[in-house]
A and B are shown apart, each in its own frame.
Chain A
Amino acid sequence: MASTETTAKDRDGGDLAGLEAGLDALETVQTGRKPFRQTFVEKILPPVIAIALVLAVWQALVSFKIVDDPTKLPSPGAVWDVVRDAWLRGDLLGYIWTSVSRGLLGFFFALLIGTPLGLLVARVKFVRAAIGPILSGLQSLPSVAWVPPAVIWLGLNNQMMYAVILLGAVPSIANGLVSGVDQVPPLFLRAGRTLGATGLKGTWHIVLPAALPGYVAGLKQGWAFSWRSLMAAEIIASFPDLGVGLGQLLENGRNASDMAMVFEAILLILTVGIAIDLLIFSPLERWVLRSRGLLVKS
């Protein structure tokens, strides 16, 4: 009993602070960065091995004459030569830039339209009931389907390509925002209201930041849809005045029955799509999730 009394006195003096500091230290999780070596072995090595394996199988198919027809399957070396020639002619970056600039500009417009649209659908009951189901239904419509009407409405030009990108990406972006808003924990809304964040203030300070993970997921999907729609549009609307993008390159390869060129175009389309995702959207997503403690480091 005597000992309890002394601790009681201690705690009412300055020792409560010490006790609390001890608890804080014990319960705080220490996190550190992984060494580069471990990142290399876990993250970089596996995809490199996978790509090497695919190339090896491809080369084997050609070398051992399992597929003995260069017009059906060119060797990896032949495709590499085509890419290198395009680079040496100075055309390669031009192909990529034509498509990427269209894709990113179209995506930017999709962002400007999709964001307020998503917010309207998420927050206004009537709008949600009216166009919510259509908006999520549109996501399952392949964006290639928009190419014929866009060509008839707008003709074979850049506007038509932007229209196709918009029709492909806007529903994804809007839907991402809607599901982000729907998943905002009600507790945050209550907490926000007691702090005085109601109406527009509540939307700006609570709802939008809380919905950010869903929104970013929507952006990522929106980009994938933009890129796919654009390639479809470029293949169908290959018109010399429009400049040669990656889709036109693919179509030109088909017209020339040049399989190496077709492979070149496919590889470039794939590479650019992955590169944009890796350089822009994945870091954005990781940053959003990590800053909220939602990304578990394995």
Chain B
Amino acid sequence: MATTLAKAADGTLAATHAARIEHVSKSFAGPAGQQLVLDDISLDVAPGEFVTLLGASGCGKSTLLNLVAGLDRPSAGTIGTDGRPALMFQEHALFPWLTAGKNIELALKLRGVQKNERRERAEELLELVRLKGAYGKRVHELSGGMRQRVALARAIAQDSRLLLMDEPFAALDAITRDVLHDELTRIWRETRLSVLFVTHNVREAVRLAQRVVLLSSRPGRIAREWTVGIPHPRRIEDTAVAELSVEITEELRGEIRRHGQH
């Protein structure tokens, strides 16, 4: 397992940015003419960095992630990524006609991994997310937490240097989510992936990230940024996590309150 991951890391040393978002704006045609969703966003993600995008509803954080993933085009500005990023959704988005192992193998196949290597790589990735033995399991036979771990393994199978995560744990129960936070942190540190993680959960943002970026709503603009210096391993109930969460929550509430004043 360690060898495949190390190889992946060595292959892309040249890149200085995992993602570079420069003056990106996005507007959609709405009932009241063009509606600006993202306004002049500039954000860099360094290789191996974990950044969370935090914001209330309507801040366009999922839109931004879709733009970075290449699923949509910005109205203005440029986005550069080191290869095609992997994307994980709030729903597991695993294909129900394939087993857990075959879901991962499909990702491998689509990026051109030879047939005889696929099975072994899929087993390794399942072991990485601690689901050894789940290879032949159908998606509906797995619990919510297990499905998200298979989805994580499938995303890592894309061998991309940048992992985009769109509220991937929002639909899970609190205990499972907490465990998956630990897992994600462990896997991020083992694989040295860059992660751009979208959430509306302040504690989640602080617990996971090296950098928290707060977006204002309608249109989404970068409101503030925090560098999180709390050493790993972190826990959801750590005092330092709690204190920073309080500060960020205050700021977030201020952003939300502004919208009630018109």
Residues of A participating in the B interface, judged by any CB pair closer than 8 Å: 4, 8, 11-12, 16-17, 19-21, 23-24, 27-29, 31, 187-188, 190-191, 193-197, 201, 205-206, 209-210, 212, 291-294
| CA gap between A17 and B186 in the complex, in Å | 11
Chain B residue nearest to A213 (CB atoms) is B97
Asked whether, in the complex, the Cβ of B97 is within 8 Å of the Cβ of A27, the reply is no
Residues from chain B with Cβ under 8 Å of A194 in the complex = 69, 71, 84-87, 158
Residues from chain A with Cβ under 8 Å of B154 in the complex = 195
Q: Assess A20 versus B107: contact at CB under 8 Å? Given A206-B95, A293-B141.
A: no
In the A-B complex, the 10 residue pairs with the smallest Cβ-Cβ separation, listed nearest first, are A293-B140, A27-B143, A191-B93, A292-B96, A194-B87, A196-B110, A12-B233, A209-B97, A195-B107, A195-B110
Type the 1/0 row for B67-101, where 1 means its CB is closer than 8 Å to any CB of A: 00101000000000000111101010101111000
Asked whether, in the complex, the Cβ of B93 is within 8 Å of the Cβ of A190, the reply is yes
Residues from chain B with Cβ under 8 Å of A23 in the complex = 143, 145, 175-176, 179
Q: B128 CB to closest chain A CB, in angstroms?
A: 12
Given contacts A194-B86, A293-B96, 5 further A-B contacts (CB under 8 A): A12-B233, A23-B176, A27-B143, A27-B146, A194-B69
Asked whether, in the complex, the Cβ of B140 is within 8 Å of the Cβ of A190, the reply is no
How many cross-chain pairs have Cβ atoms below 8 Å apart between A and B?
96
| CA gap between A31 and B84 in the complex, in Å | 40
Q: A43 CB to closest chain B CB, in angstroms?
A: 23
| CA gap between A160 and B87 in the complex, in Å | 54
Which residue from B84, B97, B176 sits with its C-beta under 8 Å from A291?
A: B97
| CA gap between A16 and B111 in the complex, in Å | 32
Q: Assess A20 versus B179: contact at CB under 8 Å? Given A187-B91, A197-B110, A206-B95.
A: yes
Chain A residue nearest to B143 (CB atoms) is A27
Asked whether, in the complex, the Cβ of B110 is within 8 Å of the Cβ of A187, the reply is no
Asked whether, in the complex, the Cβ of B142 is within 8 Å of the Cβ of A28, the reply is yes
Q: Assess A20 versus B130: contact at CB under 8 Å? Given A8-B233, A187-B93, A196-B111.
A: yes
| A and B contact pairs by CB, cutoff 8 A, 27 listed | A4-B235, A4-B237, A8-B233, A11-B182, A16-B183, A20-B179, A23-B143, A23-B179, A24-B131, A24-B146, A28-B143, A31-B141, A187-B89, A188-B95, A190-B71, A190-B89, A191-B87, A194-B85, A196-B110, A196-B111, A205-B110, A209-B97, A291-B96, A291-B97, A292-B138, A293-B138, A293-B141
